[in-house]
Amino acid sequence: MKTINTDLVVVGGGIAGFAAAIGASETGCEVVMIEKNNQLGGNATLANVGTVCGAFYRKLDEQLNPAGYHFTVSTLSQLCDLSKTSPIVQADGLIMVPYEWSMLHKIIHQKLERRAVKLLTSAALAGAEKQDKNIQHLTVLQEGKPIQITPMAVIDCSGNGIVSQLLGLQMLQEETYQAASQIFRVQNLESPGEYQLTMAIKRAITRLSHENRWGKNQQSLSVVPGSLREDHVDLKLTLPDLITDDTASNDAIRSRARKRINELFPTLKRTVGYLSASSIHSIYPQLGVRVMRRSRGKYVLTEKDVLTGKKFDDAIAVGTWPIEEWGYDGKVTLRFSHTPDGYDIPASCLNSSALENLYFAGKNISASTAAIGSARVMGTCLQTGYAAGRIASGRTSVQRQAIIQELNRELSENRI
């Protein structure tokens, strides 16, 4: 069996995993990244989320104030430049940043290569061993061949707590989660603008729903904000199917979503004039699954923490997005923090309650189901990923505490 010894293993090559690998490598750590797919970026590229949310404080004046670290702000600026986009301010003051998935994919690869991060793609995490309060080994299957990795620390950015699952650790989970979405790209359309296209699609879906007696959970089709570029646009279908921790069930939902899109689109073309000459360019390979089970950390971020804008002495990320909950009827509910400067995420949400060298980031941080409805967005995932990478690089508790204080100071300097 092939063996690898390394300082740090990052499980999951999504946006949080990318940030974690950069954060750790900046300290001189040797980093190995494990990604089950053959492409990096997670939902941000494979599902083409299309907008970065939570990267700015809510706009209450003339200023656009970015949240987070220099790394997160500079990465977002580069993404806007390459995607030729700029922030969009919504009516409620929320700010979204549209992006082109291929440009994000390019940035991730360039930065990881520059930092000499070792990538194991198409690699499934198959086993984990612990001794006392530390992970000893991870076993990975790549092309059917086992690889044993011995790390100093592990950061689980998998989105479903796969490391905690394999080790039988306590999880935070529900029977069902928020509705998922399937995004697809349409090409060769003619539209005077995004607003006009959005309204035309909305009217068409309302009419078709009435004519075909569709239920309310069959009516949610929308334009991804900022995705109309030249002659193509991305459309998001919110799905009525129950999302659970059963990955096989979720794969079946993805298959049904593709079938529904292929059935719906010809009718939509006949109804919306802007789409009459258009065709489906691509249906993205992953479902946009928003929330799944998560690992339990030393602290569990709560709904009350988010809504009251709670501050922590060991804050390592600032959450600026409301609690966003998508129902199976395609409708979204937003619940805002009571303070303009958001809420803090403490370092104790990023460290396992059971193991000293297991950390979390992204959608896998220790948070209640309601709280993760805010903290799961990409702008916040960049922050928690970067912070987890930096903290996990510390060899002693004294070093880790010093790193947390340094991260906290950088956040404080950028806070509105």
* Whether the predicted pLDDT of 215 surpasses 70: no
Nearest Cα to Cα of residue 60 among 98, 94, 96: 94
Sign of CA dihedral 268, 273, 277, 280: negative
* Residue 327: closest CA among 247, 398, 241, 393: 241
- pLDDT attached to residue 217: 56
* pLDDT for position 219: 63
Q: Beta strands 95-98 and 123-131: pairing type?
A: unpaired
Rounded to an integer, what is the distance from CA 369 to the centroid of its chain? 15
Correct CATH for 2-175+291-414 of 3.40.50.2300, 3.40.190.10, 3.40.50.2000, 3.50.50.60? 3.50.50.60
234-270 pLDDT, tens digit per residue, is: 999 999 899 999 988 989 999 999 999 999 999 999 9
**Per CATH, which fold does 181-283 belong to?**
Alpha-Beta Plaits (3.30.70)
Of all residues in the chain, what percent carry a pLDDT higher than 90? 86
What would the pLDDT profile of 337-389 be if each residue is shown by its tens digit? Answer: 988 899 999 999 999 999 999 999 999 999 999 999 999 999 999 999 999 99
163 falls in which pLDDT band (50, 70, 90)? Answer: very high
- Contact present, 344 and 318 (Cβ < 8 Å): yes
Nearest in space to 377 (alpha carbons), one of 43, 91, 29, 109: 43
**Identical fold, 2-175+291-414 and 181-283:** no
Q: Where are the domains of the chain?
A: 2-175+291-414, 181-283
Q: How far does the chain reach from its first CA to its final CA, in angstroms? A: 52
pLDDT of the residue at 1: 84
Give the whole-angstrom CA distance, residue 145 versus residue 123: 9
Tokens standing for residue 121: 């793609």
Torsion of CA 76, 92, 329, 45, to 10 degrees: -10
Query: Are the beta carbons of 40 and 105 closer than 8 angstroms?
Result: yes
pLDDT tens per residue, range 308-347: 999 999 999 999 999 999 998 888 999 999 888 999 999 9
Distance, in Å, from the CA atom of 362 to the CA atom of 15, rounded to the nearest integer, reads 8
Q: Which residues, 6 or more positions from 61, have their beta carbon under 8 angstroms from its beta carbon?
A: none
Residues composing the chain: 416
